[in-house]
Structure 1
């Protein structure tokens, strides 16, 4: 998964500080974070377009966001803020999840364990 951003190194350091893992880079425009279990990789790629529109913005194109299941919602929020994230003004999740904005303006969610469960219904 690749996140477009103006400063790949900075954003990769934010996510590594929050999630752990190992950073590698092939150049100044592209940084890879391999998570500790080595099954997930986040890439950070430099783009020069303007900052993303604020969340939520119904006029903005659909975009991807990351969800992280955490043991303690308040503590995970505190840690993300210390690392440079901000809590979004709009919080539709109540006690189930928190919408955060990373240092490059991407929304991501911190989800309590129960909020991340999905029904075990086959998809055709």
Structure 2
């Protein structure tokens, strides 16, 4: 649906993830996505490029990581990252600090990894 000229413009600025250590999680995603850190405060860090949506990390002192695939602490968001080579991308992300969970629903097309704060994310061909 197209907006009329009188509707205010709305655009996505960032997706922000809760975490215990914004700087550490920003370093992980900055390295994983080859994006610069553009904002850094003790409680919030943003990675991205000017003019494009960014990825933010917000400090939550009582943060509890998702317990995926168990839903005791449910995931509330996850990222899907496109890759050309699953094995090479997985090795790179593990070297940056990701963790490979035991459960892999479609390991030949998609891999589930956990970022350093425990958020599940997928790498997909």
User: Please, what TM-score do these two structures have when normalized by structure 1?
Assistant: 0.82
Unmatched tracts of structure 1, length 5 or more? 113-124
Name 1:32's counterpart in structure 2. Answer: 46
Name 2:94's counterpart in structure 1. Answer: 81
Q: Write out per-residue CA displacement over residues 63-95 of structure 1, whole angstroms, 9 at most, x where no aligned residue.
A: 110000100000000000000001111100130
Does structure 1 residue 66 correspond to structure 2 residue 71? no
3-state DSSP of counterpart to 1:4 = strand
Question: Going by fraction, where is strand more abundant, 1 or 2?
Answer: 1
Q: Which structure would you say has the larger Rg?
A: 2
Across the aligned residues of Structure 1 and Structure 2, the Cα RMSD in angstroms comes to 1.6
Unmatched tracts of structure 2, length 5 or more? 1-14
Count of matched residue pairs: 111
User: Please, what TM-score do these two structures have when normalized by structure 2?
Assistant: 0.81
